[in-house]
Amino acid sequence: MAANAEAVYDVLTAGRTRHLRLGALVELAAAEFPGLVPTPDELAQDAARRQSDKRGLEIDVGIFMHGILSAPVAGEHLVDAMLRPTPRALARLDEFRRTGALDLGSVLVRRDGAAAHLTMCRGDRLNAEDNQQVEDMETAVDVALLDPAVRVGVVRGGVMDHPRYRGRRVFSAGINLKELSAGRISLIDFLLRRELGYLNKIVRGVRVDHEQSWRSPEIEKPWLAAVDGFAIGGGMQMLLVFDRVIAASDAYLALPAAKEGIVPGAGNLRLGRQAGARLSRQMILGGRRIRASEPDARLLVDEVAEPEDMDASVERGVALLDSPAVVANRRMVNLAEHPRDRFRTYMAEFALQQSIRIYEDDVLGKVNRFSAGAAAPR
C-alpha cells in the first residue's frame, strides 16, 4: 500500500470516476486484490465474536486505509466521497422537507423555524454511541444540510431513562464500551465513518451539485451544541467541531483517552488547537474533567447557562448564527483551523493506530471491566 496506493485506488474507483464510501471500497478491494483486505464474509464472521476473541482482521483494513488516506490524490478523493449524502438521507429527505420531522431510531430530527434540532435519544445508555447511532447521526446531519428551510443545526441530548439520570437531559457518554467489548464497534462503520462522515460534514458541509457549486462544492451551515449533564469521550470530541457550544452550569466535559486506551478520533488534532497544549494533555493523557463552572471551561464552551435557562440560551444562539455572513466566515475559519490536507494525513495515521489499539491487551482488559460494571458516569 505504501508503494501502490494511488494505483490501487484508481482501479477501485475507475480512475476516480466513482465515489465509493469506506465499506464499499474495502469490499471491492477484497474482490479486486485478493488477500489485500479481509472479505466481507471474513469480516462478518469476526464481527460475531467478542472483541477479545477476534482474529484482528480489521488491522489489515487499517493498513489499507492508512495507505489510501496517505496518498494525496486518492486520499483527497476518498475524503470528498465521504462528504456526499448517504442513500438513506436522500431517501428520507422529501419526508423531512414535507413534515419537518424524522424519527431515525437513536436520533430525532425536528425543524423549528430556521433550525433543525437533532436530539440524541438513546436514553437507556446515556447516548453512548454505537454503529447505529453513527448511521443515524450522519443521516440527520445530511437532511439538515440538504433542507433549504434549515439555516442552523442544533445537537442536544434527550431525556434519559437510565436510573441515575432518569428525567434529565444528557449530551453523550462517548463510545459504548459494552458494544466495543462485545465486538460490535466497527473500524469502518464507527471509528472511521464517524470522523470522515457526520463530524466532517458538520465542519465542511455536504458535497452535492447545487446552485452555488461554483462558489463552494459543499452546502455548509452553522452548528450549535447544547450540553446538559456531561460530554465524555466521543461526546467531548463532537464539541470541537461546532461553531457555538452552550453548556449547563452543572455540566462537565472529559476526554479520558488514556484511561479508555483508544485514540479519541480527531480529538487529539483539534483539542490542543482550541484549548492549548497543556490543557489538551491534562484531559487526554491525565483524564482531567472540566466543569462548566470553572474558568478553563471558557476555552471549550462559548456560554454557560443555568439548567432551567438552556432552552432560551439555545434559541438566542440559533438567532446569533442565523446569518449569511456567519456561513461565509465560518468557512474561512474552518479553512484555517481544519486544513483539508492536515485532516487527511491525521486520519491516515488514525486509521492505522486505532485499528491496532482496539486489539491491544490493555484496551481489551479495560473495556471488559467497564462493560462488566456498566457503571454510569458520576
Asked whether 39 and 30 are in contact (CB, 8 A), the reply is yes
CA atoms of 17 and 9, how far apart (whole Å)? 11
Tally of domains within the chain:
1
Which residue range(s) make up the domain with 189? 5-373
Q: What integer pLDDT is reported at residue 240 of this predicted model? A: 98
The amino acid present at 347, given as its one-letter code, is: M
Q: Is 249 exposed, middle or buried (0-12, 13-18, 19+ CB in 10 A)?
A: middle
Mapped onto helix, strand or coil, the DSSP state of residue 186 is coil
Q: Is 367 exposed, middle or buried (0-12, 13-18, 19+ CB in 10 A)?
A: buried
Residue 378 lies in a domain: no
Asked whether 183 and 56 are in contact (CB, 8 A), the reply is no
Residue 86 lies in a domain: yes
The 10 Å Cβ neighbour count of residue 199 is 23
Give whole-number Cα distances, 370 to 2, 176, 288, 363, 375, in Å.
37, 10, 18, 10, 7
End-to-end CA gap in the chain: 45
Q: What integer pLDDT is reported at residue 80 of this predicted model? A: 97
Q: What is the 3-state secondary structure (H, E, C) of 274-304?
A: HHCHHHHHHHHCCCCEEECCCHHHHHCCCEE
CATH number at residue 206: 3.90.226.10
CA atoms of 320 and 302, how far apart (whole Å)? 12
Query: Cα-flanking dihedrals φ and ψ of residue 227, to 5°?
Result: -105, 110
Q: What integer pLDDT is reported at residue 211 of this predicted model? A: 82
* Bridge partner list, 108: 103, 119
Q: What integer pLDDT is reported at residue 372 of this predicted model? A: 64
Residue 213 lies in a domain: yes
Q: What integer pLDDT is reported at residue 377 of this predicted model? A: 62
Say which DSSP state 160 is in.
B
Exposure pattern of 80-105 as b/e (b: 16+ CB <10 Å)?
bbbbbbbeebeebbeebeeeeebebe
Count CA within 13 A, CB hemisphere, residue 85: 24
* Bridge partner list, 206: 219
The amino acid present at 147, given as its one-letter code, is: D
- Print pLDDT tens along the chain (378 aa): 999 999 999 999 999 999 999 999 999 999 999 999 999 999 999 999 999 999 999 999 999 999 999 999 999 999 999 999 999 999 999 999 999 999 999 999 999 999 999 999 998 899 999 999 999 999 999 999 999 999 999 999 999 998 999 999 999 999 999 999 999 999 999 999 999 999 999 999 999 988 888 888 999 999 999 999 999 999 999 999 999 999 999 999 999 988 889 999 999 999 999 999 999 999 999 999 999 999 999 999 999 999 999 999 999 999 999 999 999 999 999 999 989 999 999 999 999 999 999 999 999 888 777 666 554 565
DSSP per position, 6-27: HHHHHHHTTTTTS---HHHHHH
